[in-house]
Chain A
Amino acid sequence: MKDYVATILQNEKIAENVYAITFETEEPVPVRAGQFGDIAVGGTHLLRRPIAICKAEENRITFCYQVKGEGTQKLQAMRVGEKTNVLMPLGNGFYVEDGEKKVALVGGGVGVFPLISVLRAYKATKEISAYIGYRNKAAVCGVEEFAKATNFVAVTDDGSYGEKKNAVQAFEAALQAGYRPDVVLACGPTPMLRALKTVTDREGLNCFVSLEERMGCGIGACLVCVCDKTNGKKARVCKDGPVFNANEVQL
Chain B
Amino acid sequence: MANLSVRLCGVTLKNPVIAASGTFGFGREFHELYDIGTLGGVSTKGLTLEERLGNPVPRIAESRGVILNAVGLQNPGVEHFIRNDLEWLKSTGTAVIANVAGKTLDDYETICSKLDGLVDMIELNISCPNVKSGGMAFGIQPQSVEQVTARAKKGLKKTPLIVKLSPNVESIATNAKAAENGGADCISLINTLTGMAIDIERRKPIIANNTGGVSGAGVKPVAVRMTYEASQAVKIPVIGMGGITCAEDAIEFLMAGATAVQVGTANFSDPYAMPKIIDGLNAWCDRHNIKNVSELTGTLELHQR
Residues of A within 8 A of B (CB): 1-3, 40, 44-48, 71, 85, 87, 213-227, 233-234, 239
Contact = CB atoms under 8 A, between A and B. Distances in A.
A71 B62 contact: yes
Interface of B: 22-25, 28-30, 32-33, 45, 53-54, 57-62, 64-67, 69, 71, 74, 206, 216-218, 265-272
Contacts of A239: 29
A226 B74 CA distance: 10
Contacts of A216: 23, 59-60, 67, 69, 268
A227 B65 CA distance: 27
B54 to A, nearest CB: 7
Contacts, number: 102
Contacts of A45: 62, 64
A47 B62 contact: yes
Nearest to B32: A1
19 contacts: A2-B33, A3-B270, A40-B270, A46-B62, A46-B269, A47-B60, A47-B62, A47-B269, A48-B269, A87-B271, A214-B57, A216-B23, A216-B59, A216-B60, A216-B268, A219-B33, A220-B29, A221-B267, A239-B29
Contact of A213 (B23, B45, B57): B57
A226 B62 contact: no
Given A3-B271, A224-B59, A46 B54 contact: no
Given A2-B33, A222-B24, A226-B57, 9 more contacts: A40-B269, A40-B270, A46-B67, A46-B216, A71-B62, A216-B67, A217-B23, A220-B25, A223-B22
Contact of A221 (B25, B60, B69, B217): B25
A40 B245 CA distance: 15
Contact of B69 (A71, A224, A234): A224
Contacts of A215: 60
B244 to A, nearest CB: 12
Contacts of B265: 46
Contacts of A44: 64-65, 217-218
